[in-house]
Structure 1
């Protein structure tokens, strides 16, 4: 789905070029779940905006959904395949109701009214908002607005959805709903790039990529990251309770492959 090789990106500040990304290489296969993390200002948002054509790399090579993103036409076309769900739920809605919001993108694609209605009904049902299709968007909760943003992505038949810290402004129940929705989509074949700074969400991801100051510091499995790497400590991460217990087990000689990452794995051990 994504093949990025030695990507660089610069922003201009007057006569100076400020480096934002330096030598980033990362492949993402179709149907994969990758969690991307790093401190604020490390370049995460700049990188994901390269993936769907919002930014243009200064150097390196990048293909997304089989399209070379050096081409302006391809940067426009890739948005059909790769969609973003942003951090702020209120910044993504253009319609006055969920039905109108999903319809907006479909109208721009020139779908017939009959096909639009079928697709809108299906995706609102898929995200659990069918019963609120005609509700005023201002009456929706933050979690419901994020689910609506996902519905808009699904209506456009996105092959990959990038969640850019999409749960950071939600309460625990809303976070859980969006994470469960993303996991269901992943199980159905959608490629997911999950951008987060929550350690527990990283631990539950099959693959974690860690950025720092515009470079890629780590790309691999979470068990190695949390139990065999000094990176979490260097970055000042507060370990999740499950990881803290796992480190006690590690100190007593438990092998890496048995150390827990999730509450379910810890429960099985206990």
Structure 2
């Protein structure tokens, strides 16, 4: 679906951030891209839908290339992006107006715009706020509106670029639950994150290390042992707890990396 072929990127007068990256993202995946700060995670995200262009190599969505300006509009319609701060994506004063803006840009008739806004707000459990002032919403609610604005144009892929990092625990859980639901309904999810606790949601993880891929595989395999060999990559709290219990002789599988699995195995030992 999305193909990186020998992609390198550098900003003017700076060394390359990304070096010869080659990988594919498949339909329906839930991919998390992680790594230390400044390693190039957000750069990779912006290369996916043409917000940035490779210095070398090629990025494609299906049969379309991000370096072809005539194809960029279609690529960005099918690959939506939700940023860290939802306020950066708000363009109008009310929820309805904000939602309608993107649909007007793709020239939908007014009746269809109204129908899509209502359907999408219902999908993210925000229909009751259709006439609300966007500035009156909580951070989690604003992020759900940002997601709804992307969903309304019917994308096949949604990139979440640190989209939960500014939210309180309740807002974060609301957004993660929505992301999980969208993936279960067939939307390809790409999560750019530094939060190791979120990785249990993913079906696949790519770890960036010095501008290259340091790991590409499942969360279970990464946190079984391999994470220890990647500089600067911290394990989730559950993995530290698992390893501490194992070091004390408690017979737990080395593949545990989420709370549900840990509780289940501890219950069986009780």
- TM-score bin, normalised by smaller chain: over 0.9
Matches within 5 A, 1:6-17: 6-13=6-13, 17=14
Match of 2:258 in 1: 262
What is the rounded CA distance, in whole Å, between the counterparts of 2:238 and 2:110 in structure 1? 50
Aligned length: 264
1:12 alignment partner, SS class: coil
> Which of 230, 242, 248 is the matching residue for 1:246?
242
CA separation of 1:29 and 1:233: change in aligned 2, threshold 3 A: closer
Contact residue 93 and residue 133 of structure 2 kept, 8 A: yes
CA separation of 1:30 and 1:236: change in aligned 2, threshold 3 A: closer
Match of 2:24 in 1: 27
TM-score between the two structures when normalised by the length of structure 2: 0.92
Where does structure 1 lack aligned partners over 5 or more consecutive residues?
none
Match of 1:234 in 2: 231
Per-residue deviation, residues 36-90 of structure 1 (Å, max 9, x unmatched)? 1112211111111110111111212221143122211122220010010000121
CA separation of 1:217 and 1:127: change in aligned 2, threshold 3 A: same
What is the rounded CA distance, in whole Å, between the counterparts of 1:263 and 1:182 in structure 2? 19
What is the rounded CA distance, in whole Å, between the counterparts of 1:131 and 1:114 in structure 2? 19
2:208 alignment partner, SS class: strand
What is the rounded CA distance, in whole Å, between the counterparts of 2:126 and 2:40 in structure 1? 33
Runs of 4+ in 1 over 6 A off after TM superposition: none
Match of 1:79 in 2: 76
CA separation of 1:244 and 1:138: change in aligned 2, threshold 3 A: same
What is the rounded CA distance, in whole Å, between the counterparts of 2:3 and 2:23 in structure 1? 6
Where does structure 2 lack aligned partners over 5 or more consecutive residues?
none
Contact residue 32 and residue 206 of structure 2 kept, 8 A: yes
Per-residue deviation, residues 64-123 of structure 1 (Å, max 9, x unmatched)? 143122211122220010010000121110011111011001111111111111100000
2:15 alignment partner, SS class: strand
Q: Residue 141 of structure 1: CA displacement?
A: 0.7
What is the rounded CA distance, in whole Å, between the counterparts of 2:18 and 2:230 in structure 1? 23
What is the rounded CA distance, in whole Å, between the counterparts of 1:112 and 1:235 in structure 2? 51
Match of 2:4 in 1: 4
What is the rounded CA distance, in whole Å, between the counterparts of 1:104 and 1:194 in structure 2? 25
Matches within 5 A, 1:92-107: 92-107=89-104
